[in-house]
Amino acid sequence: MSAAVASGMARRRGADTAFQALALLVLVVTLGALATLIWDIVADGGGTLSWSFLTSFSSRRASQAGIWHALTGSIFVVLVTAVLAVPVGVAAAIYLEEYGGRSLTARIIELNITNLAAVPSIIYGLLGLGLFVRTMGMGRSVLAGGATLALLALPVVILSTREALRAVPKSLREGSYALGATKWQTIWHQVLPVAAPGILTGLILALSRAIGETAPLITIGAFAFVTFAPDSIWSPFTVLPIQIFNWVSRPQVEFHANAAAAILVLVTLLLSLNAAAIWLRDRYQKGGIS
Amino acid sequence: MSAVPRSLPSLGEVASSRRETAGGADRACKIEVDSLNFYYGEARALQDISLQIQPNVVTAFIGPSGCGKSTFLRTLNRLNDIIPGTRVEGRILIDRVDIYRSGMNVVDLRRKVGMVFQKSNPFPKSIFENVAYGLRINGMAGSRSELAGRVEDSLTQAALWDEVKDRLQESALAMSGGQQQRLCIARALAVRPDILLMDEPASALDPIATQRIEELIYDLKKNYTIVIVTHNMQQAARVSDRTAFFWLGRLVEYDRTEKIFTAPTEKLTEDYVTGRFG
């Protein structure tokens, strides 16, 4: 090895080491911030978290207040969101990806969906207030909240479903067509089963984003102080993030502990949804689709 | 294996028997291509191709990469239709029916004209379901025992039955590469096509698996008209009765395989088969 090559090699190794160190530093900072956040929440709210905290309603007395109404409200709303957004979103994605072709209209629609995914959520809240709450007369109900979040989740669902459909190898479609399958038979029997784990992962991530949303629901008037759990899609409701926001803005320190405990519940919920998404993706990769 | 195709003597027999049944008319023609042009967008991939393919004959398409032989193969079952921006001019008659005429049932065409791909592409399902799929979607499944019988027949024809009969419910993706390709052949045969298109079916296989595929092609010739695209000139010489040489989207020469490989008319063909380029 000549001296020039050797020194070049040393420089490249040095750059390699430096980049590795930088990447590690960034990782430590990010994970450190997350760990500090979680440690802080646990320290504040861990003591308040109890079975009765989960199953009690809101109260003016911090020690008696619980999150049952907000937890059920969140679950109700996200169920309505799922029922509305999932079939429409998946069907729209199938149309755009498999049938839409490359026409100008299809490309304009595609561009618009990408833009919609980036629209601030409060805009969806205003749309929901005008459209669902007032024009369609749904009132400040679970249905109006779920429908608003469904609008918010729809672009994400469409984009992630298209991504999953696009990942299905072309050879699989060709194999099916070559046997005399129609387009729909190919989609139904070959494409969708292979894309299903990917689609499901995208759905879970879109819905977990919807659970964490606050602004659009405040806009449509989700109650900040309700003392009952929703019992139908027409009930007024509140959700966990709004309850947390409400408690944090109180002056009493006891309520701040309640807020921290509620955050713990919300974070646990979101982390388990994300874990489910990762587990599905893992299984998908082990499935060995070549 | 000798360079002279062992299947050649049978060509004469097949052709003469056809001539007799046709009552002295033109040699019966399974596929007739007339001035075919094919475009990907603006680019013309095939230029003015005309040729005739007789039934129960193995025809090989040879030529360098990008010469249009695979594209041409895929016009025969209209599989190029699924690629946006493609366009066809000219006529392709299969059993005297123009397959590009308006109102042509493409689904039915693809059932009649089976295809095996370069990279084996079994569905991520069981071995049984891979073969049964074509039968099910074409409404040919029948009762449970009829379906099982047809699956067995197809696997037997593809010389795979003895290897897989005890593990029909296992995933097709667990098979070896050669087995997967024979499964794809069985899958294509299940829906009872007349014509079998093979796009470099052995290019990803080892010599032993390749030999099995080639023997299979020889056996299948009795019942099917086979068109095979290959990069491997020894393979073309071994398995085919007739060979078409493509170059830059044109059909340069089309003749008996023996003639193409021993006494081609065109200088270009000679240069290619003797390995001077390609």
Contact of B108 with B52, CB cutoff 8 Å: no
CA angle B24, B25, B27 (to 5 degrees): 100
Under an 8 A CB cutoff, do A179 and B184 touch?
Answer: no
Question: Does the structure show a pLDDT above 90 at B8?
Answer: no
- Substitution target in A170, A176, A177, A179 with the highest count of B β-carbons within 10 Å is A179
**Percentage of residues of chain B with pLDDT beyond 70:** 90
Interface check A102 vs B, CB under 8 A: yes
Q: Do B84 and A176 touch (CB under 8 A)?
A: no
CB B53 within 8 A of CB B113: no
Model pLDDT, residue B109: 94
Q: Are A187 and A164 in contact (CB under 8 A)?
A: no
Task: Calculate what percentage of chain B has a pLDDT beyond 90.
Answer: 72
- A290 has a pLDDT exceeding 60: no
Please, which pLDDT band fits residue A286 given cuts at 50, 70 and 90?
low
> Is it the case that residue A283 has pLDDT exceeding 60?
yes
The minimum CA-CA distance between A179 and chain B, rounded to whole Å, is: 5
List CB contacts (< 8 A) between B76 and chain A: none
How close does chain B come to A154, measured CA to CA in Å?
27
Nearest residue, CB atoms, A178 vs list B79, B119, B138: B79
Q: How confident is the model at residue B86 (pLDDT cuts 50, 70, 90)?
A: very high
Residues of B in contact with A97 (CB under 8 A): none
| A190 reaches B (C-beta below 8 A) | yes
In chain A, which ranges are continuous DSSP H helix?
A: 3-45, 51-55, 68-94, 104-116, 121-128, 142-166, 170-178, 183-186, 192-212, 215-219, 240-248, 253-286
In chain A, whose CA is at the least distance from the CA of B192?
A179
| Contact pairs from chain A to chain B, CB under 8 Å | 71
- Report d(CA B115, CA B76) in Å as an integer: 10
pLDDT in tens, B221-236: 999 999 999 988 899 9
**pLDDT exceeds cutoff 50 at B17:** no
pLDDT of residue B22: 38
Rounded Cα distance, B32 and B24, in Å: 19
CB within 8 Å of A65: residues ≥ 6 apart: A53, A56, A57, A58, A59, A247, A255, A258
Is the interface score ipTM higher than 0.95?
no
Query: For chain A, what percent of residues have pLDDT higher than 70?
Result: 96
pLDDT above 90 (res A81): yes
Question: Which two tokens mark A89?
Answer: 């979103």
Task: Please indicate whether, in this complex, the C-beta atoms of B119 and A194 are within 8 angstroms of each other.
Answer: no
**B window 90-129, beta carbon within 8 A of A:** 107-111, 114-115, 117, 119, 121-124
Mutant choice from B80, B137, B183 vs A, greatest count of A C-beta within 10 A: B137
| Residue A289 touches chain B, beta carbons under 8 Å | yes
Whole-number Å distance between alpha carbons of B85 and B152: 40
Residue B9 in this model has a pLDDT that exceeds 90: no
Summarize pLDDT for B18-76 with one digit per residue, the tens: 433 333 334 578 999 999 999 999 999 999 999 999 999 999 999 998 899 999 999 99
Range with lowest mean pLDDT among A67-71, A166-170, B9-13, B127-131: B9-13
Residues of B in contact with A182 (CB under 8 A): 107, 137
- Give the C-alpha separation, A262 to A237, whole Å: 16
- CA-CA distance, A111 to A93, in Å (whole number)? 13
CA distance A268 to chain B (A): 35
Mean pLDDT of all residues in B165-174: 93
Among B73, B75, B121, B150, most A C-beta atoms within 10 A, so best to mutate, is: B121
Res. B85 pLDDT band, cuts 50 70 90: confident
Rounded to 5 degrees, what angle do the CA atoms A51, A57, A59 make?
115
pLDDT at res. A84:
94
Has residue B100 got a pLDDT over 70?
yes
Look at residue B214 in the predicted model and tell me its pLDDT: 93
The Cα–Cα gap between B236 and B243 comes to 7
pTM of the model: 0.79
- Provide the pLDDT for residue B244: 95
Per-residue model confidence (pLDDT) at position A246: 86
Give the C-alpha distances (Å, rounded to integers) separating B273 from A152, A279, B49, B60, B68.
Answer: 62, 54, 20, 13, 17
